[in-house]
Amino acid sequence: MSEPSTVPSDGLDTAACEAFLVHEARLLDDARFDEWLDLFTADAWYWVPSEPDQANPHDTVSLIYDDRRLLETRVRRLASPRMYSQEPRSRTSRMVGNVTVEERDVKVVTVRSKFLMLEFRRDQQRLFGGAAFHRLVRHDGTIRIAWKRVNLINCDAPLDGITQPF
């Protein structure tokens, strides 16, 4: 999709959004989950549907649906030495690409991207992929995530436990 001819002056042009997504992926790969959490707004939500084209997170179950409070709890647990499903820890490697701005308003955009995430843990490697949608807002000179939706390509497959945010 093509960008509007006038470059937006709110710091949310495609290049800035792409750089932000790459930064987010790097924080997750480096297990800097506290810093990742700081990317979200105070009333943000993070959603991984269990069905393709799932209409909402309220009437159908989700692989992950965290409001801000639960997202904080999730991130705090990721740091716990007693999180047995992370003993040993996962190592992850994410690729982000095909970044396009789908909707644009003043100081707020919806960005669509594609991702691949390799997860290695205890002799096994898994590959996840799909599309991510970020609602990004400009806030005090920085970019924040108001919501994030991750459409896993195999969201309705039988899956072993998921501990790593996408």
Partner 1 sequence: MTDRLAGQSVSQQDMSQFIAPGRVHRRIYTDPAIFELEMERIFGAAWIYVGHESQVREPGDYACTRIGRKPVVLVRDAEGEIRVIHNQCAHRGALVVASDKGRTDEFQCCYHGWTYHLDGRLKAVPLNHGYPKEFDPRNPNTAMLKVPRVKSYRGFVFASLAADGPSLEDFLGYMTTSLDDMVDRAPMAEIEPAGGVFKHAYDANWKLYLENLCDAAHPLFTHRSSIDAAQQQSDDVYSDGSGEIAIRQMRQNAAPYSFWESQVGIWTYPNGHSFLGDYHDDAKLVAAMKDPAFRDYIAALETHQGRERARKILEVRRWNSNVYPNLSFMSQFQQLRVVHPIAVNRTEVHTYSFRLKGAPEQMFRNTVSFANIVNGTGSLVLTDDLEIYNRIGMGLSSEGAEWIEVGRGFQTDAPDEHSGRRGKNSTSEVYIRNMLDAWLGYMTNGRAERARVAS
The token pair at 38 is: 């700081």
Eight-class DSSP state of 56: -
> CB of residue 17 vs partner 1: minimum separation in angstroms?
24
Say whether 16 sits in a helix, a strand or coil. helix
- Asked if residues 84 and 102 have their Cβ atoms less than 8 Å apart, the reply is no
Enclosing H/E stretch for 47: strand 40-49
DSSP per residue over 132-155, as a string?
A: EEEEEEEETTEEEEEEEEEEETTT
93 binds partner 1 (CB under 8 A): no
58 binds partner 1 (CB under 8 A): yes
**CA–CA separation, 152 and 143 (whole Å):** 24
Among the listed residues 84, 106, 140, 141, the single contact to partner 1 using CB under 8 A: 84
> CB of residue 145 vs partner 1: minimum separation in angstroms?
14
> CB of residue 133 vs partner 1: minimum separation in angstroms?
17
Site stretch for partner 1 (CB under 8 A), options 6-14, 112-120, 131-139, 155-163:
155-163
110 binds partner 1 (CB under 8 A): no
The token pair at 32 is: 């800097």
65 binds partner 1 (CB under 8 A): yes
74 binds partner 1 (CB under 8 A): yes
15 binds partner 1 (CB under 8 A): no
**CA–CA separation, 166 and 82 (whole Å):** 22
62 binds partner 1 (CB under 8 A): yes
Enclosing H/E stretch for 109: strand 108-121
Site stretch for partner 1 (CB under 8 A), options 71-79, 91-99, 111-119, 141-149:
71-79
Summarize as ranges the residues that interact with partner 1 (CB under 8 A). 42-43, 45, 48, 50-51, 54, 57-74, 76-77, 80, 82-85, 156-163
